[in-house]
Amino acid sequence: MNELNRRSAPGAGPAAPIRTVHLGLGAFFRAHQAWYTHVANSGGDAEPAGIAAFTGRRPDAALPLQAQDGLYHLLVRDAGGDRTELIASISAAYDGADAEAWRRTLADPLVGTLTLTVTEAGYRRGPDGGPDLDNPAVASDVERLRAGHTDVTTAPGRILSALAARQAADAGPLAIVPCDNLVDNGPTLARVLNGLAAAVDDGLAQWLAGQVSFVSTTIDRITPATTPEDREVVAKLSGFADAAPVVTEPFSEWVLAGDFPAGRPAWERGGARFVPDVSVFEQRKVWLLNGAHSLLAYAGPTRGHATVAEAINDPVCRGWVETWWNEAVRHLPLPPDDTTRYREDLLERFTNPRIRHNLAQIAMDGSQKLPIRVLPVLTRERADGRLPEGGVHALAGWLAHLRDGTAVRDPRGEELTNAVSGPVPEAARRMLRALDAPLADDHDLVEAVAATCRGLVP
């Protein structure tokens, strides 16, 4: 079996000069943004754009890529079979704790874009949408940045540290492209970073306002965790002992809105669309795909399911999802044939038997995900006088998940699991209060969530 590197795989070509930096070197980034950049580079005529990718929370994620000169395979699985694609766009992979490399790379005038996958929780937003300055990690980063230190730990702190280096190097403008499932992710990140910069240094805040463009994006590609068996399939298909392959589906979507003052890779070659406003694409994706994912992640295990495909093939779970979709599409400004087609595609993607997408992976960080995926539809339905059964099932499933407590992985996990002990109706009220305070005063909703939870776990 061949080792994978740029000598053993000459088709990959030499590492391209770095034009893009990425924070959050995980599987999703490698199935999505790195793939689009790879396709952009395969166009022949364009100047190839390499990526310097830094790990977010797991330093070891960079090691196998360093050993493989940044190369890895995508294992693209559809119902009909598997194929591999060699991805060559990552020119350098770094442990994110390497503050020197991080600052140096972003201070390079040839770098024009910074893409991010730092998870919903990684943006460290406070209740007012600005930076969560009461959070000890954020507060400590502010102190350290003020004192000129570079060893900061939060994603906004690290970005700001690198922007200060870019300002000092007079390296010119930059586009920052957040690729996490947040509402208005460009302006959302802008508020956090502007707030943090104002708390650290006025000069930096002014530079940021003039030099940094925040691009909003909707991103989509289902990317389950890679297993040892997947690595064997890649070895068999490609002939390489790839230590870092990524499994994904054939489908992929990227919609972007915003300016790129220092240029960007030709992502449209991979099908990326540049539009004036992403909100309708974002709502469609986050409510229909991610909302259904979260519903299945919490309610599915109560019926013994471990993966999306298992759950969606259960007519009871499928019924909850269809109900949720009926509720969500009422609030999407899209023609019915668009949402009908989108739902059909989603069913095909969810039932893909070759994608083993664990519900436990999706269940992480519910306190950050539900306000974006489920509450916007739920509150609109309540305002219209309806009690939406699909949305209620998502919340009731979350309540069951929190009360069970064994699989909770959430930045507010301790607070939430404490809040949901005791009798179910009180637990439902406390859970809703923690999620969005006014919901706890909606008695019909509290009762419906409690009754549905009892139905799920009698």
Q: Interaction with ligand CS2 in 363-392: which residues (CB under 6 A)? A: 369
**Under rule CB under 6 A, residue 221 binds ligand CS2:** yes
Instruction: Look up tokens 């306190």; give the residue.
Output: 367
Shortest Å, Cβ 21 to ligand CS2: 22
**Under rule CB under 6 A, residue 220 binds ligand CS2:** yes
- Residues 13-42: x where in contact with ligand CS2 by CB under 6 A, - otherwise, as a string: ------------------------------
| Alpha-carbon span 426 to 56, nearest angstrom | 38
**Under rule CB under 6 A, residue 361 binds ligand CS2:** yes
- Name the segment binding ligand CS2 (CB under 6 A); options: 109-117, 166-174, 218-226, 391-399: 218-226
* DSSP string for residues in 226-275: P-HHHHHHHHHHHSB--SS-EEE-S--EEEEES--TT----GGGGT-EE-
Shortest Å, Cβ 374 to ligand CS2: 12
Residue 442's nearest CA partner among 385, 361, 367, 398 is 385
362-391 in b/e form (b: 16+ CB < 10 A) is: bbbbbbbbbbbbbbbbbbbbbeeeeebbbb
Q: Which residues pair with 219 in a beta bridge?
A: 254
Nearer to ligand CS2, 142 or 222 (CB): 222
Q: Interaction with ligand CS2 in 149-208: which residues (CB under 6 A)? A: 181
Q: Considering only residues 52, 163, 190, 362, which one is a binding residue for ligand CS2 as defined by CB under 6 A?
A: 362
Q: Considering only residues 197, 222, 419, 424, which one is a binding residue for ligand CS2 as defined by CB under 6 A?
A: 222
Backbone phi, then psi, for 213, in 5-degree steps?
A: -105, 135
- Name the segment binding ligand CS2 (CB under 6 A); options: 85-93, 111-119, 147-155, 219-227: 219-227
Nearer to ligand CS2, 50 or 178 (CB): 178
Q: Which residues pair with 216 in a beta bridge?
A: 257
Q: Considering only residues 37, 117, 290, 367, which one is a binding residue for ligand CS2 as defined by CB under 6 A?
A: 290
The H or E element spanning position 349 is helix 336-351
Residue 31's nearest CA partner among 253, 328, 303 is 253
Shortest Å, Cβ 446 to ligand CS2: 26
Question: What's the Rg (C-alpha) of the chain?
Answer: 22
Q: Interaction with ligand CS2 in 109-138: which residues (CB under 6 A)? A: none
Binding residues for ligand CS2, rule: CB under 6 A, are 181, 220-222, 290, 293, 361-362, 369
